[in-house]
C-alpha cells in the first residue's frame, strides 16, 4: 500500500528530526508537531519506490482521509486526518513540504512510542501484514522496563482481520493459513507462537472455524533491542531541552 509506506516514511523523518514544532499544551485538541521536509527526502526514505508525482498523490490521499472517533455523546465525536500538508515549490522539480500530524500521532512521537519502530526494516518488508505485525509488536513494547521479563502477547484472528484490513478471505480457515504464513516469516522477532482454534457447529453439520487466538513469544534479540531503544530514549529525554514552540529531539 503506497500511502501506508509514505506515512511510515513521514514518521521515520519525524522521529529522526532534531527539531520539531510542538505546541506545549499536550491536552489541547490541536496539539501537534509540524515536520519540514521535501518530496525528495520522502522519496529517499521510502526507498525510491515511487516517483515524486506518486508521492505527492499519496500525500494528497492521506490528507483527504477522515477518521471518526465516537464519544459517549455526539458532541464529543472527533474527526481527523492522518496529516495536513502544504507545498512550496523550489523550482528544481522538488517541493518543500510542511506536514502537520494529528494530535494522536503527535503524542506517540513526543512520548517516544514511534521511536520503537525499525523503519528501515519496515519499509524494506514487501508484505503489508508483516509490516503491520512488526509495527504493532514494537509499539506494544514501548514501555518495557529494564529487567522486565519477556512479554507474551495474545491476539485473536478476528482482531487482526478487523484492525489490519485484510478481508479478502471467504473462510476463517483461509485467513488463518495466510496469517500463519506471515508469522512464520517473522522469526527474527518471534521465537514462536501457538494458535488455539475456536470451532462452532456448522449449519450443514461438521465444525466450522470461527476464530483463532495467537499467543506470541518474542525473540530474545527483539526483546533486548526494544529495551536498548527504551534506554536510549530515556537518555535523549534527559539531554533534551523543552523549548517554547518546539522540542529538542536528540
Give Cβ neighbours of residue 73 (< 8 Å, ≥ 6 apart). none
pLDDT tens-digit profile of 62-87?
Answer: 999 887 767 677 666 667 778 888 77
* pLDDT tier for residue 204 given thresholds of 50, 70 and 90: confident
Q: How many Å is the Cα radius of gyration of the chain? A: 20
Q: Closest Cα partner for 119 from 247, 235, 234, 10?
A: 10
Residues 117 and 239 in one domain: yes
Residues 1 and 105 in one domain: yes
Residues 7 and 34 in one domain: yes
pTM (2 d.p.): 0.75
The mean pLDDT of 207-225, rounded to a whole number, is 89
Give the per-residue pLDDT at 40.
Answer: 93
pLDDT tens-digit profile of 95-147?
Answer: 888 888 877 777 777 665 566 678 888 899 999 999 999 988 887 775 554 44
Instruction: Give the residue carrying C-alpha cell 492522518.
Output: 82
103: containing domain:
1-111
Residues 107 and 207 in one domain: no
Residue of higher predicted confidence among 231 and 42: 42
The mean pLDDT of 17-30, rounded to a whole number, is 48
Mean pLDDT over each residue of the chain, to the nearest integer? 79
Q: Closest Cα partner for 173 from 217, 208, 125?
A: 208
Please say if the pLDDT value at position 20 is more than 70.
no
Residues 97 and 126 in one domain: no
Please say if the pLDDT value at position 211 is more than 90.
yes
Task: State the Cα–Cα distance between residues 212 and 209, nearest whole angstrom.
Answer: 8
Task: State the Cα–Cα distance between residues 38 and 44, nearest whole angstrom.
Answer: 10
Q: Kindly report the CA angle at 6 between 140 and 216, in degrees rounded to 5? A: 25
Question: Among residues 69, 92, 111, which one ends one of the domains?
Answer: 111
pLDDT tens-digit profile of 159-202?
Answer: 999 999 887 888 999 999 999 999 999 999 899 999 999 999 88
Residues 107 and 165 in one domain: no
Give the per-residue pLDDT at 34.
Answer: 77
Question: Among residues 67, 88, 111, which one ends one of the domains?
Answer: 111
Residues 147 and 92 in one domain: no
Residue of higher predicted confidence among 116 and 61: 61
Give the per-residue pLDDT at 237.
Answer: 57
Amino acid at each position: 500500500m503506497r500511502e501506508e509506506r509514505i506515512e511510515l516514511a513521514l514518521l521515520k523523518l519525524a522521529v529522526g528530526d532534531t527539531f520539531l514544532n510542538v505546541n506545549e499544551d499536550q491536552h489541547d485538541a490541536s496539539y501537534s508537531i509540524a515536520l519540514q521536509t521535501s518530496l525528495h527526502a520522502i522519496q529517499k526514505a521510502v526507498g525510491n519506490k515511487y516517483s515524486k508525482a506518486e508521492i505527492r498523490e499519496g500525500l494528497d490521499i492521506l490528507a483527504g482521509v477522515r477518521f471518526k472517533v465516537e464519544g459517549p455523546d455526539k458532541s464529543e465525536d472527533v474527526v481527523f486526518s492522518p496529516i495536513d500538508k502544504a507545498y512550496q515549490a523550489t523550482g528544481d522539480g522538488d517541493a518543500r513540504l510542511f506536514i502537520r500530524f494529528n494530535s494522536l500521532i503527535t503524542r506517540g512521537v513526543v512520548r517516544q512510542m514511534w521511536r520503537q519502530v525499525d523503519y528501515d526494516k519496515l519499509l524494506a518488508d514487501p508484505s503489508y501484514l508483516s509490516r503491520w505485525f512488526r509495527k504493532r509488536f514494537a509499539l506494544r513494547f514501548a514501555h518495557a522496563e529494564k529487567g522486565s521479563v519477556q512479554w507474551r502477547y495474545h491476539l485473536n484472528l478476528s482482531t487482526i482481520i478487523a484492525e489490519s484490513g485484510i478481508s479478502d478471505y471467504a473462510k476463517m480457515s483461509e485467513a488463518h493459513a495466510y496469517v500463519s504464513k506471515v508469522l512464520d516469516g517473522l522469526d527474527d522477532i518471534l521465537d514462536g507462537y501457538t494458535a488455539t482454534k475456536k470451532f462452532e457447529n456448522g449449519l450443514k453439520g461438521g465444525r466450522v472455524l470461527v476464530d483463532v487466538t495467537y499467543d506470541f513469544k518474542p525473540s530474545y534479540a527483539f526483546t533486548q533491542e526494544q529495551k536498548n531503544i527504551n534506554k536510549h530514549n530515556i537518555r535523549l529525554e534527559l539531554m533534551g531541552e523543552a523549548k517554547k514552540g518546539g522540542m529538542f529531539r536528540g
